[in-house]
Amino acid sequence: MSKPSRLSRPFFILLLLLLLYGLWIFSRPAEEPSQPLVRSRLLMGTVVEITAFGSPPDALERAVTAAFAEMARIEELMSPHRTGSDVARLAEAETEPVAVASETAEVITLGLTVAARSGGAFDLCLGRLKDLWGIETDHPRVPTPEEIQAALEGTGQKKLQVIDNTIVKHDPRSAVDLGGIAKGFALERAARVMEEAGIRHAAVNAGGDIRLIGDKLGGPWRIGVQHPRDSGKILARLALQDVAVVTSGDYERFFMRDGHRYHHLFDPATGYPADRCQSVTVVAPRADLADALATAAFVLGPKKGLDFLKSYPEVEGMIVDAAGQLTATPGLKGRTQ
């Protein structure tokens, strides 16, 4: 009687490899889908678009919806135009302490820190000055020097103090305005909500201010920075991941009068729109920090502004000065077109 044949060694190895490959296929995590979920809503006076990759689709949809809801909640807290918001209540207060949400206290604390480090170029108390100019209304105007001087009373970072979740105004004329930082904070909160839901690849874009979560499925996100004088031209293309990129420019909200451009980025030292730059783009780990730094650097101007950005180790930036000349921190040099 013949003996049963044994499996040849090569055939046995092949069978083992096929078995191991099958186990790997069934045990590895599901890959992210190559087609993103894209949703947009009108928030904070601009169109906010979220692009996110993930699975399953219903969980991804819930995470994106929750991110929008979080941004709307931050807007309710920090808009000066919402009755009962923290900022509206601060405007109504004299010098008595005002209890605010922890998020509002966090934003004001960061704003005061940037104000101090920038020598007052960033100011959270410009509410009366902004109302006076009305840049973002249907009837902007150029105030008289006397009106501007009166509106500057009560400005400066020393007029505010944060004690836990309580804000103290040391001057009843101080009108808190978080327009230079609140949108960045809302972007940061939206990113946190999605990360906590397990989203690893996403971009939150609020009118060109962007918070990136991770990379774009193995490659960087490609971000185009708009030219401040030619909306159809890209000033720079940046390859980024897991950071925020924010631009402050004199082309965003402005009006022209007698050939002069009046915009919404005010110099706290003069009460007039800052005139040393056309735009400032900042890349930073957090969107609220990038937001505040972009405003401060714009006011400081190209030389002082660039030195200011360099003082933050994890921050990069590029500045287009009033004459249209571009300068950048070392990490962004050579990345413009």
> pLDDT (tens digit, 9 = 90+) per residue, 99-127?
999 999 999 999 999 999 999 999 999 99
Give the model confidence (pLDDT) of 168-213 as tens digits: 999 999 999 999 999 999 999 999 999 999 999 999 999 999 999 9
pLDDT of residue 33: 64
Residue 13: pLDDT band (50, 70, 90) is very low
89-118 CB burial, b ≥16 within 10 A, e <16: bbbebeeeebebbebbbbbbebbbebbebb
Annotation: CATH topology of 86-169: T-fold (1.10.3980)
Q: Specify the 3-state DSSP secondary structure of 59.
A: helix
The mean pLDDT of 302-329, rounded to a whole number, is 97
SS3 category, 243: coil
pLDDT in tens, 67-95: 999 999 999 999 999 999 999 999 999 99
For the chain, what are the domain ranges? 37-78+183-332, 86-169
Residue 298 confidence (pLDDT): 98
The better pLDDT of the pair 6, 241 is held by 241
For residue 44, what pLDDT band results from cuts at 50, 70 and 90? Answer: very high
β-pairing, 201-206 vs 46-53, is antiparallel
Tokens coding 293:
């730094």
Rounded CA-CA distance 197/300 in Å is 39
Mean pLDDT of the region 52-78: 97
Strands (E), 170-220: 201-206, 209-213
The pLDDT mean for the chain works out to: 91
Burial status of residue 50 (CB atoms within 10 A of its CB: 0-12, 13-18, 19 or more)? buried
DSSP string over 283-300: EESSHHHHHHHHHHHHHH
Which CATH architecture is the domain 37-78+183-332 placed in?
A: Roll (3.10)
Per-residue pLDDT, averaged over 286-299, amounts to 98
pLDDT for position 34: 73
Q: Do domains 37-78+183-332 and 86-169 have the same CATH topology?
A: no
